[in-house]
Structure 1
Amino acid sequence: MASHGTSHTVDWVESRWGKDAVARVVRRTPITHGYSSQSVERLDLLVEVGDGSTADLAVLRKHATAAEVTALRALRDVTDTRAPALPELLADGNDAAGPWVVLPFYSGSTLASEAEVCDDVLQSLAVMHVRHVNVTLPNLPVVDRTWWDNGFRHVDRRLSELLPTASEPAPLHEALDLVRRVRGEPLLVRTPERLSRTLVHGDIHANNILAGPAGSKIIDWGAATLGPAMLDLANLVSPDSPRFEVYADAWEASAGRALDPRLVNVEYQWATACVNIKYLGFAAHHLGGDAVRDMLERAQRALDALARSGA
């Protein structure tokens, strides 16, 4: 987009206000949140419409991964009004620093915990999952054996890097032991091969959900993946909780059929093990030994439940 104070015309401005509309950047505000190092800024725009009127608009511009661009483009295919928490992609392109996207600036704050997730998030995820069952999307990783190998190598490397300076080395040793013990575990590697794949956000947690006056928005789609839908639910609600019915009802309304409880249980236990193993390095660095041990317990319980399910 143009530098401060200059004018430019872009497709999404024209589509919304007409072919003669021009957007002028009147203010740029860098934004820092979460743990991402990607450049993010708020742009306050003055849109000059062809009839002489003007409109103020705030947007978010950020550099993104190719996967994030692909996922945000795919969200345009979700037209169901029961998915209000999905963000709108206004524009995307490339510059010297790589791919970038422009989204509306959604006001609000991230959740204090996953327990605060609202119905609109669960409903939006259900609708998105139904819309993209077994689709093929370029630039998105697929949950397969290679995905697992890469994930385990990353967690192993991160824990090994943290271990020499850890104030609590015992939990990290326990985490490394689990990671190395289950790296080739067939229950983890083969179970998703028997499950449907869909577009998943891939990193759903409290810091990636904005709650604002107009409702919730799911942000930061850089970890988007093609995989089992329960990857997006494992951090939020369990299938035996009343809150899960919000997701299940939206899924059924969108798909025209109910979820299979047995498959949901298998998929959820697999996803719970996956999510807790995946974030062990993050927990060791940012949350401490107690959090690491809690995640190890959750991962092991999920693996035990998966084994009992006969998956």
Structure 2
Amino acid sequence: MTHPADEAWLAALARRRGPVSVTARRALAGGYASERGAERVDLSDGTSVVVKAAAAREVAALRAVAVVPTLDEPVLIAAGPGWVVVPFHDGPPLADDEPVPAAVLTMLDRVHTHWRGKRPRTVPVADAAWWRELCLQRIAPAVDHAFASLAVEVRDWADDPRALRAATAVSRTLTHGDPHRGNVVGGRLIDWGNARVAPCGFDLAVLRAQGTDVATGDPVEDGWSDLAMGVAYLGFAADHLGAARVRELAEMASNGLQAL
């Protein structure tokens, strides 16, 4: 794992809470983890933080979230090139039969509202080029081996004028990009590693795909969001969730396209 020297982030934490020291640390998996690793670090004041290797987009996204003045609690303690320190929230990921906490929905709404029409630097944009790359380079090859007819459909969607028009026309904001149940821990939304500048409906579509009744109310934005997020999760579903879930996501995407 590439992480900062403790002195770098402890100094930042001391400015918030006063001097503290490290009492224990252990590696983390699940929602907190990145490909380069993350640690839970316990501190002498009885609290814990996550010290995490992070790509530039995650660092930029967390810095952007941190300036939203209406958030109830901090989401970023310290950051530097390739790393972040964030609060640790204890508990298991949100179960399938549990409702998404109101705090998560409120946080997303406040971030979406604050950044509407603006782009934090370094956070990638979900535009027409992103859509074509998603379909042609990532998803179609990922599903082709087991779902060949679906791969053909995804390739067709890449250049569908309805999708390309929506990718340009629908307004954007800062989105989490991956607010599935595995990233809701201890009642809080974690892991901004897939953040993008996109319609706020993208986040709502991910929540909706797992049973939460949320939508923007704009049929074009909701349709584009269902199409884009339905496609975006097909590769993971094909590898890990089985044919039934692949069919559900494909139907979600197809219905979204028809709504445009």
Deviation at 1:139, TM superposition (A): 0.9
Deviation at 1:304, TM superposition (A): 1.3
Matching residue within 227, 252, 258 for 1:298: 252
Amino acid in structure 2 at the alignment position of 1:158: A
* Partner in structure 2 of residue 37 of structure 1: 35
> What is residue 14 of structure 1 aligned with on the other side?
14
2:121 corresponding residue in structure 1:
138
- 1:159-198 aligned at under 5 Å gives the runs 159-160=143-144, 163=145, 169=146, 172-198=147-173
Say whether 1:199 aligns with 2:199. no
- Cα deviation code 1:272-296 (max 9, x no counterpart): 1111111111111001111111111
> Of 58, 63, 84, which residue of structure 2 is paired with 1:73?
63
- % identical aligned pairs: 34
TM-score (norm 1): 0.75
Report the TM-score, using the length of structure 2 for normalisation. Answer: 0.88
Kindly indicate whether the alpha-carbon contact (under 8 Å) linking 2:140 and 2:152 is maintained by their aligned counterparts in 1.
no
Aligned to 1:51: none
Structure showing greater radius of gyration is 1
Unaligned residue ranges in structure 2 (runs of 5+): none
Shift of 1:267: 0.4
Q: How many aligned residue pairs are there? A: 254
Whole-Å Cα distance in 1 between the matches of residues 175 and 192 of structure 2?
9
The Cα shift of 1:9 comes to 7.0
Which structure shows the bigger proportion of residues in strand conformation?
1
For residue 281 of structure 1, what is the amino acid of its counterpart? G
Contact 1:200 1:224 in 2 (8 A): yes
Q: In structure 2, do the counterparts of structure 1 residues 242 and 109 end up closer, same or farther at CA, with 3 Å as the change threshold?
A: closer
Q: Output one character per residue of 1:159-197: Cα deviation in whole Å (capped at 9) or x when no partner.
A: 24xx1xxxxx3xx11320211121111221221322211
Aligned residue for 1:156? Answer: 140
Cα 1:134–1:273 change in 2 (3 A) is same
Residue 101 (structure 1) aligned with residue 60 (structure 2): no
Q: Which amino acid aligns with 1:37?
A: E
Q: Which runs of 4+ in 1 moved over 4 A?
A: none
Q: 1:249-304 CA distances to partner (integer Å, 9 max, x unpaired)?
A: xxxxxxxxxx7x4xx22101110111111111111100111111111112111211
Give 1:17 shift: 3.5
**Separation of aligned partners in 2, 1:8 and 1:143:** 34
What is the root-mean-square deviation of aligned Cα atoms in Å?
Answer: 2.4
d(CA) in 1 for partners of 2:115, 2:223: 22
